Structure 1
Amino acid sequence: MKWRKKFLIGLLFSLGLIFSSLTINKKDLKDTSGEMITKIIPDNLIVEADVTPYRTPTSDPVILLFIWLTSGYNLQPENQYTYINNPKTLYTDSGRSVLDALLSLIATPHYIWYQSTDGQTWTQMTQTTKELTVTPTKVGTVYYQQMTRWYGLLPGLLDTTVYSKVAFITTFPSPIKATDLTVKADSKYLYNNQSSAMTTYVTGIPTPVDATGELKWKIDDTSLATVDTNTGLVTANTSGKSGTVRVTGTMTNSDGTSVSDYVDIRIGGGLDDQTVDEGKPATFEVQGKFDQPPTNVVWHKVDKSNKDTVVTNNNSNKLIYTIPNTSYSTDDGTKYYAVLTITSGDSTTTVTTNKANLTVKKNVVPNVTVDNTIFNNSHNDHNDSNTIINGVSKNDQVSYKINLNDSNVNSAMTKADLKLELPVSSNISEVKVNGQSYSDYNSVSASDKQTLTIKNLNFTGIKTFTLEVNLTIDDNSKSSFASKAIVTGYDASGNTISNYSAGNDLTMNFADNNISIKAQNWNYGSINSYQNKVLLNREKIVGNHLEVSDNRREKKALKLYLIQSEPFKSGENVLPSEMRYYQKNGNYNVLGDAGTLVSETIDGQSLDPIMWNDDEGPRLFIADGHYVAGNYSTNLEWSLVESI
């Protein structure tokens, strides 16, 4: 029994060491330069570990497309998670700058790996290969760093040496299964038209981040690009073939299950062909990822005769060029390309994009405008814009004039019909097109209007038409009539393109050349028999005391009189009274047979309706005398006198 207790205590103590070791090794690792040792740090591992690299890692290289401007690692060794006796491989890739390569053209890279079990003390490993494969036999974390050296003509002189970042391999007692995978690409655009192949790397981030499965890569179209199944290095073709490839990463767990994700990468020459509608802007934008912005970008235009011209770029972004208002005749079929210059230190290089085509789709949509006016040739009374005529009477000669224009020279509208609504009482005397009598029209009458259709206006060679419609006006019961021109366009096959309701509203205001008046009744209320010498006001009414409709075409001067020809009576009884007409100034005239002047106009002026205030106009004065109760009334006459 004592032996069993000791065994259990020892077992628990060993497990405690294992869990302690695992906790320590899942720390957020940083190098002395402050950069993360790994690109993948899970959110729940935030405790920092004190790791000192064997040598300070070399800065990431500056690479323009495929041209190395500085030396360094473009593929750093990635942190790996595994379990006992399951091998893992650290992959790297490095390169020299153009200048370093020129100093020793035939040099080949040599590799040395260093390892540390505590992140402080480092030992050189015996492996001298580019990749490092290890098969852990115990739980824990081991750190690794690689040195790459290109020996010059004289060893030690003009050598190029770079150091990778530190990566670790953490070993667990048993596998950890991946449940998801997220795939990303360093660049989603690769050039296919340069002298050397352009590359990028894809990476996969599993969930959980410390999953121990194996990640492999494949690509769907190897004619566009290839991918290294282990490292995720994507290499574009150099034959100018363009398209989009899908790179898929799959992490396979130890139990045979797997998770996958993908990323799409475009392959091209830097610029995409553009197709726009005529009149719309066309924009070319240099694609791809640059480690630093180009110092100079020159844009070129190649016209349809193959003439190459440098064009001025007014865009604030040098990598974007815009043609603001494209024209089919001048821009369709042209090509554009850009020449990029990038300088880094003493190194300068240029990259020329592909020539991208500009296709401008001819704008065949009709651009129809209608300018219409109306005239009364018998009576000159119209507004300034000639869209309203007034005082239209029987037998007047009225003309509609319509200017119809399709400003698009490439318009698909080869024929058009024009419809115009006219008063049903009008008689069409003539239709003219461009000054000539035109007979291809018809008119259909309805209860309150007739619709004139002028047919088959041929827009093949002529884009502008002047139409004239002459009418004779008959009797009309309406006070006004409004209309607008409607154009229906057809293409060469007779298909309707569109209807265009355009132009001004044209209005006729009719007149009967008469003036009419209509008086309202009013009263003075009840009068008591004992009321004497009192002045009574009219009771209020709704509207005007005298309604006036002055439709005279020639408005001569008028005088309006009010006449009282008999007294107020109730049967045979006469009311002792007088009707006084008060002016605004308080003076009055007594109404009688001679009439009292109420209103007066001058030539050309319309007579307005009459409306009095309470203390103005006819007021009833009750005089002294005897009168009996009753309903008293009288008739007042209105008289119009026109000047001769």
Structure 2
Amino acid sequence: MLIFTAMSFDQSNFDKSAPENKIISKVIPTVTTAKAAVTPYRTPTADPIILLFIWLSSGYNLQPENQYTYVNNSKTLYTDSGRSVVDALLGLLSSPHYTWYQSTDGQTWTQMSQTTKELTVTPTKVGTVYYQQMTRWYGLVPGLLDTIVYSKVAFITTFPSPINATALDVTANDKYLYNNQSSAMTTYVTGTPTPIDSTGNITWKVSDTSLATVDSRTGLVTANTTGKSGTVRVTGTMTNSNGTSVGGYVDIKIGGGLDDQTVDEGKKANFTIQGTFDEKPTNVVWHKVDAAGKDTVVTNSNSDVLTYTTANTVYATDNGTKYYAVVTVTSGDSTTTVTTNKANLTVRKNVVPDVSVNNTIFNSSYEDHNSENTTINNVAENDKIVHRINIKDGNLNSVLTRAEIQIKLPKSSVIDNVKVNNQNFTDYTNVADPNNNQGTILTLRNLNFVITKEFAIEINSTVGKNEALSFNSTVSANGYDTSGNLLGQYIPAQSLQLNFADNSINLQANDWSYKTINSYTENSLIDRSKMENSHLEVVDKRRNKQALTLYLSQREPFKSDEKELNSEMRYYQRDGSYQVLNENGTLVSETTTGQTLDSVAWQDHEGPKLYIGDGVHDAGNYTTQLEWSLVESIK
């Protein structure tokens, strides 16, 4: 596989303005198949290692490229080579000398008479001719220590007639050029036509010559050295022999290695060294220059040494700082250092409010609350209730200047006083809640967030008699800017709950049944049928819980109409002992002072069971009534 290039010719007294004298530039096809293997005159020198404009090894940075032409149409092979820093130091007084070799079969080579850097040929017959260049640096005469490099082989293929291009694809060797180094940085642009063997010629131009210039023949792009940054567009135009043309372009960025960065406060900024490094840097040292001009070496924790990531930015300390990097590359005996430009870091001040609201509730008269202090239980008339609300704007640069706090209270509540940051506060209203006839809305107005960013609010009230058994006391805060625009509504995660006590205890007895017996069932103990609910539902809402005893009694036997069942109700304890139920009552459970009475739900082996005695039993549906009774201890 070979790659070819069509190059321009140069003549003395050549008039570039004349339409018949078109400047010809290089054309690079992607793929060309040779008919025979080519053996170079000498093995081509490896591509040089170049860091920006500094040559770390000798070689060709512009190879002679394959060309397509037609009979009697001139083409030029362009080259550019250079020496490493070390080779240049060893031969300070030497200069480059050029020798061209050609072959018609790709095997046998002859030295040409031309000794110029560029080689222009005008084919007179159809066919392919191969070319290779040697560049040798020496003084007055060649020596043993001279630097010698050989180019790659290029060919010029001649057709009997022109082939016109229909499209042109333009690429650049490097798409980033530095503008802040002691020597100008360069790169080459190339064009690939369609079809690949088009015989037209390319000319080049740039969109802004203050950023970079381009050699209209070779496509050599040279960046400015004045520090001007931007993006330059390099456009190539291929002109066919019939006067038609096609074009393409590539954009090349010009800069000092780093771009300025702008981030929102609290975010990280990334500075990445741009450009192409043929050799991996051996060391990269990052510097930070603060707004006062103090230069500090910073530690880079990024796995990619060419990228530095800041910590979360703070407007007050990071806005206006600068960053730059010192890059060191070592290749063999050559070491070079490149310093980037100083890139600015702009931190956009975060003015979005960072509001948090927390609230708790307490009953100063009676302590019965959850661990989070968001629910109080057994609240009774005349209890002293304390709401505590903390509202904070965590952003010092916030545009929040004023806030209103709303809290919903039971309608029976009487406001005793309101305190803000331990000072009495009177700028509030308390009106009926239009959405809840059991509540009111207390609004604290004009909390000034310009003066302070945090408020501790305490609302003391006395609760009256309430119809509802519970009340949800929600809190919300509305924030405003200096123009009175609503910035947002902020609601705490906690919801406050007041559960009221009515000092009552409610019992709900549920029926149960026993299995069916026949007329001859006798001396048998019958179990209860299973039931899902408790046998006795108990709701104990007493605030002052005195000790209780719960009894179960049976005053009448089982009867069906006037028929009486020969039976007895036996109340079994957990240990297997039992008592026969009668009008005197049997102890079922008891509590101590302060203990809540629980509902009664017996296990299968305990509680009332029916014992069937002797005799023949008449058919019927037998029922009886049991009586539950509570006895409260009185101190």
Q: Distance in 1 between matches of 2:55 and 2:586?
A: 110
Q: Tell me, yes or no, if structure 1 residue 601 matches structure 2 residue 588.
A: no
Q: Tell me, yes or no, if structure 1 residue 250 matches structure 2 residue 237.
A: yes
Shift of 1:562: 0.6
Match of 1:470 in 2: 460
Match of 1:494 in 2: 484
Match of 2:11 in 1: none
Secondary structure in 2 aligned to 1:410? coil
Change (3 A) 1:201 1:550: same
Shift of 1:288: 1.2
Higher deviation after alignment, 619-628 or 386-395: 619-628
Aligned counterpart in structure 2 of residue 617 of structure 1, from 593, 598, 607: 607
Match of 2:423 in 1: 436
Match of 1:349 in 2: 336
Shift of 1:199: 0.4
Shift of 1:572: 4.1
Match of 1:562 in 2: 552
Higher relative contact order (CA closer than 8 Å, sequence separation 6+): 2
Q: Distance in 1 between matches of 2:234 and 2:470?
A: 74
Q: Distance in 1 between matches of 2:136 and 2:609?
A: 123
Change (3 A) 1:196 1:110: same
Change (3 A) 1:571 1:218: same
Secondary structure in 2 aligned to 1:59? coil
Match of 1:553 in 2: 543
Q: Distance in 1 between matches of 2:271 and 2:225?
A: 22
Change (3 A) 1:524 1:309: closer
Change (3 A) 1:484 1:199: farther
Please provide the CA RMSD for this pair: 2.7
Secondary structure in 2 aligned to 1:602? coil
Q: Distance in 2 between matches of 1:145 and 1:378?
A: 104
Shift of 1:436: 2.1
Secondary structure in 1 aligned to 2:106? coil
**Counterpart residue type for residue 162 of structure 1:** V
Q: Say whether the 8 Å CA contact 1:489–1:496 is kept in structure 2.
A: yes
Q: Distance in 2 between matches of 1:70 and 1:523?
A: 104
Shift of 1:155: 5.1
Aligned counterpart in structure 2 of residue 339 of structure 1, from 326, 330, 347: 326
Match of 2:568 in 1: 578
Secondary structure in 1 aligned to 2:415? strand
Q: Say whether the 8 Å CA contact 1:488–1:498 is kept in structure 2.
A: yes
Shift of 1:598: 0.9
Secondary structure in 1 aligned to 2:317? helix
Q: Say whether the 8 Å CA contact 1:29–1:50 is kept in structure 2.
A: no
Match of 1:7 in 2: none
Q: Say whether the 8 Å CA contact 1:369–1:503 is kept in structure 2.
A: no
Q: Distance in 2 between matches of 1:70 and 1:614?
A: 97
Q: Give 1:160-179 correspondences, 5 Å limit.
A: 160-179=147-166
The runs of 5 or more residues in structure 2 that have no matched partner are 5-26
Match of 1:359 in 2: 346
How many corresponding residue pairs? Answer: 609
Shift of 1:332: 1.4
Q: Say whether the 8 Å CA contact 2:28–2:193 is kept in structure 1.
A: no
Deviations 1:576-620 (A, max 9, x none): 332222223332211112101111222222111112234432223
Match of 2:18 in 1: none
Q: Say whether the 8 Å CA contact 2:95–2:139 is kept in structure 1.
A: no
Match of 1:11 in 2: none
Change (3 A) 1:118 1:587: same
**Counterpart residue type for residue 416 of structure 2:** S
Secondary structure in 2 aligned to 1:512? coil
**Counterpart residue type for residue 268 of structure 1:** G
Higher deviation after alignment, 340-349 or 299-308: 340-349
Aligned counterpart in structure 1 of residue 364 of structure 2, from 369, 372, 377: 377
Secondary structure in 1 aligned to 2:316? helix
Match of 2:197 in 1: 210
Q: Distance in 2 between matches of 1:185 and 1:412?
A: 49
Higher deviation after alignment, 177-186 or 456-465: 177-186
**Counterpart residue type for residue 470 of structure 2:** S
Higher deviation after alignment, 229-238 or 412-421: 412-421
**Counterpart residue type for residue 250 of structure 2:** V
Match of 1:456 in 2: 446
Match of 1:592 in 2: 582
Deviations 1:102-159 (A, max 9, x none): 4555655433322110112222223333222222232221101122334415554764
Shift of 1:415: 1.4
Deviations 1:428-486 (A, max 9, x none): 33322112222222334132543332221111121221111223333444443344432
Q: Say whether the 8 Å CA contact 1:113–1:147 is kept in structure 2.
A: yes
Q: Say whether the 8 Å CA contact 2:359–2:492 is kept in structure 1.
A: no
Match of 1:226 in 2: 213
Match of 2:257 in 1: 270
**Counterpart residue type for residue 76 of structure 1:** Q
Q: Distance in 2 between matches of 1:516 and 1:71?
A: 102
Match of 1:641 in 2: 631
Change (3 A) 1:528 1:320: closer
Q: Tell me, yes or no, if structure 1 residue 124 matches structure 2 residue 111.
A: yes
Secondary structure in 2 aligned to 1:508? strand
Shift of 1:212: 2.6
Match of 1:514 in 2: 504
Shift of 1:424: 4.2
Match of 2:130 in 1: 143
Change (3 A) 1:66 1:562: same
Shift of 1:565: 1.9
Secondary structure in 2 aligned to 1:329? helix
Q: Distance in 2 between matches of 1:516 and 1:92?
A: 105
Aligned counterpart in structure 1 of residue 287 of structure 2, from 295, 300, 304: 300
Shift of 1:295: 3.0
Q: Tell me, yes or no, if structure 1 residue 414 matches structure 2 residue 401.
A: yes
Aligned counterpart in structure 1 of residue 355 of structure 2, from 368, 373, 379: 368
**Counterpart residue type for residue 308 of structure 1:** D
Aligned counterpart in structure 1 of residue 270 of structure 2, from 245, 260, 283: 283
**Counterpart residue type for residue 397 of structure 1:** K
Q: Tell me, yes or no, if structure 1 residue 115 matches structure 2 residue 102.
A: yes
Shift of 1:268: 0.6
Q: Distance in 2 between matches of 1:79 and 1:595?
A: 118
Shift of 1:526: 5.2
**Counterpart residue type for residue 326 of structure 1:** T
Q: Distance in 2 between matches of 1:29 and 1:491?
A: 67
Q: Say whether the 8 Å CA contact 1:175–1:254 is kept in structure 2.
A: yes
